[in-house]
């Protein structure tokens, strides 16, 4: 499947020295990160993952399991690993990001310069669950509780029909995921949490330190599970601060940096 089915570039920067790949939460879309494009400097190009079941991929075949999702995304990412890259995943997206990096490393590709795991427990604390088995009303109630989705929209039958298949499908992938990743990451890992996120404890986030051979830290922001939607500038600044030493200057000619 063409890479442009999986990845979007809201602000193409073909000569940027580093690419930042961002992955959404369960049922989420590229809209979670679209404002980031204007907050990033010219030397960083934003790539947004668009899994099946949303936006213009409503009719695309949904993967059978999370490894299948990772494999499809990896095929799209490989051609873009010609320069340094980093990855940011929110909630389910953090798990996908982790498995994606391990998948790429097994295939002999370059490691990212940093992995950012947002609002997600480390694999050893994976909860599982059965939310994907709930009826539509109960699933919508759970989405309202988490925040991040307008309750007014969820009350509209046409909106439910549009978004619930992807949400339910993603929940199935993450809730049936067998958290048995193999290998350590050769890059720093930063866990980001909202200080009022009832889905995650600081201890569960700190567990990410066992999955890297490099530096680890945890950052806390005011807010709940979707803290990053309320303060995109603060989150982007925190990400850039940790990428600064790994971000080459943009090319000054029409040639790609080497």
Nearest Cα neighbor of 100 from 73, 80, 61 is: 73
With tokens 């009719």, the residue in question is 59
Q: Is 189 helix (H, G, I), strand (E, B) or coil?
A: strand
49 vs 9: CA distance, rounded Å: 9
Q: Tell which residue, 5, 58, 31, has the closest CA to residue 166.
A: 58
Catalytic residue flag (residue 126): no
Catalytic residue among 29, 90, 91, 126: 91
91 among known catalytic residues: yes
Question: Do 25 and 92 contact (CB within 8 A), yes or no?
Answer: yes
Distance CA 89, CA 190 (A): 11
Angle formed by the axes of helices 92-106 and 157-175, to 10°?
50
Comparing C-alpha atoms, which of 237, 248, 258, 240 is closest to residue 18? 248
Q: Which residues are catalytic?
A: 91, 225
């Amino acid at each position: 499947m063409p890479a442009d089915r999986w990845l979007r570039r809201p602000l193409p920067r073909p000569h940027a020295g580093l690419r930042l790949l961002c992955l959404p939460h369960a049922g989420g879309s590229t809209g979670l990160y679209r404002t980031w494009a204007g907050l990033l400097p010219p030397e960083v190009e934003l790539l947004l993952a668009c899994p099946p079941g949303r936006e213009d991929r409503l009719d695309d075949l949904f993967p059978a399991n999370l490894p299948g999702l990772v494999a499809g995304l990896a095929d799209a990412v490989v051609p873009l690993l010609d320069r340094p890259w980093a990855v940011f995943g929110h909630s389910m997206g953090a798990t996908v990001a982790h498995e994606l990096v391990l998948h790429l490393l097994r295939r002999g590709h370059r490691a990212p310069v940093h992995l950012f795991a947002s609002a997600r427990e480390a694999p050893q604390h994976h909860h599982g669950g059965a939310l994907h088995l709930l009826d539509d009303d109960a699933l919508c109630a759970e989405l309202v509780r988490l925040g991040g989705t307008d309750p007014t929209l969820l009350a509209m039958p046409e909106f439910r029909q549009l978004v619930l298949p992807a949400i339910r499908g993603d929940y199935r992938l993450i809730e049936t995921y067998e958290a048995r990743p193999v290998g350590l990451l050769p890059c720093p890992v930063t866990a980001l949490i909202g200080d009022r996120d009832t889905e995650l404890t600081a201890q569960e986030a700190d567990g990410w330190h066992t999955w890297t051979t490099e530096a680890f830290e945890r950052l806390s922001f005011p807010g709940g599970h979707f803290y990053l939607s309320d303060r995109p500038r603060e989150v982007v600044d925190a990400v850039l601060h940790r990428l600064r030493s790994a971000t080459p200057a943009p090319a000054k000619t029409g040639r790609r940096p080497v």
